[in-house]
């Protein structure tokens, strides 16, 4: 029997945090569920002293999780710092596993309960670490296309000033806190909402977005048209010395005009869902 205690709780976050509390060396995360991926990213971002994470995951699971810009941009920060390494495999385990130097933890969900079933039997742990370490080294790296949130924030402040960055941070934080409530705006929509709140030019925000790696100018233009047709934003022509007039973005619905930045995403979602 293991001398380590099994962990039980009502959330993956609790089980994962408890299972990795004393761990400092790299952890192999084998066949994680979306909930495990999100929990480990959230646990690691913005903190120090957490172990490096080496994911060996199903490619579609990673793609689905990283469609959420807040999670993906946080993960990109961890990748950039060397705290996270993402690899893909088509080999499935029976359960999501956390393989450390001293333990193997199987994360098992049953209804509304979650358990981390722990073994520290040395020969088994060593064999598991060798097996999954070898599989990790031979696996293909996952290409996370989302830019790191630190780079996004810094470039936004450099280009447009601290007020615009503050609004962007507030919208992003509202999406994090309300995850699961159906407020799922993508990064281009978020950027355009913040730009419209601050009366920025479409050309400027789309050029910034393309330069920082969020999306192409064409994607920004297409999304602007969709938001305009939905009554979320409107545009005003601004003449320039040479060439066609530029378009200034503005919020077009009173619910958006009256909303704080922290409520902007929810108000926009309500309008888009009409």
pLDDT for the residue 1:
39
- pLDDT tens by residue, the chain, 274 residues: 345 678 887 788 888 888 787 777 899 999 999 999 999 998 888 777 788 999 999 999 999 999 999 999 999 999 999 999 999 998 887 789 999 999 999 999 888 889 999 999 999 999 999 999 999 999 999 999 999 999 999 999 999 999 999 999 999 999 888 776 666 889 999 999 999 999 999 999 999 999 999 999 999 999 999 999 999 999 999 988 777 889 999 999 888 998 899 999 999 988 888 7
What are the structural domain ranges in the chain? 7-141, 149-272
Q: Which of 84, 81, 265, 255 lies closest to 183, judged by CA?
A: 265
Report the C-alpha gap between 263 and 267 in whole angstroms: 6
Is 149-272 the same fold as 7-141?
no
Q: Which CATH architecture has domain 7-141?
A: 2-Layer Sandwich (3.30)
149-272 is a CATH 3.30.70 domain:
no
Q: Which two tokens stand for residue 255?
A: 């619910």
pLDDT for the residue 248:
96
Q: How many CB atoms lie within 10 A of CB 194?
A: 26
pLDDT for the residue 258:
87
Q: Is 25 exposed, middle or buried (0-12, 13-18, 19+ CB in 10 A)?
A: exposed
Residues ≥6 apart with Cβ < 8 Å to 110: none
Report the C-alpha gap between 9 and 1 in whole angstroms: 21
């Amino acid at each position: 029997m293991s001398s380590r205690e099994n962990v039980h709780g009502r959330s993956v976050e609790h089980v994962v945090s408890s299972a990795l509390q004393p761990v400092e060396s790299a952890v192999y995360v084998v066949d994680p569920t979306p909930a495990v991926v999100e929990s480990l990213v959230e646990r690691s971002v913005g903190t120090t002293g957490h172990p490096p994470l080496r994911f060996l995951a199903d490619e579609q699971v990673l793609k689905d999780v990283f469609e959420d810009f807040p999670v993906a941009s946080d993960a990109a920060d961890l990748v950039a710092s060397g705290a996270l390494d993402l690899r893909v495999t088509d080999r499935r385990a029976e359960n999501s596993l956390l393989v450390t130097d001293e333990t193997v933890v199987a994360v098992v969900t049953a209804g509304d309960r979650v358990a981390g079933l722990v073994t520290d039997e040395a020969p088994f742990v060593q064999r598991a670490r060798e097996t999954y370490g070898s599989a990790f080294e031979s696996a293909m790296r996952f290409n996370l296309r989302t830019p790191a949130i630190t780079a996004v924030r810094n470039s936004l402040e450099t280009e447009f000033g601290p007020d615009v960055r503050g609004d962007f941070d507030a919208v992003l934080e509202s999406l994090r806190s309300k995850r699961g409530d159906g407020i799922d705006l993508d990064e281009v929509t978020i950027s355009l909402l913040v730009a419209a709140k601050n009366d920025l030019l479409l050309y400027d925000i789309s050029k910034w977005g393309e330069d920082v790696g969020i999306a192409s100018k064409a994607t920004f233009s297409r999304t602007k048209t969709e938001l305009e047709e939905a009554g979320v934003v409107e545009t005003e022509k601004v003449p320039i010395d040479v060439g066609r007039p530029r378009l200034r973005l503005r919020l077009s619905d009173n619910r958006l005009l009256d909303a704080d930045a922290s409520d902007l995403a929810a108000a926009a979602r309500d309008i888009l869902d009409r």
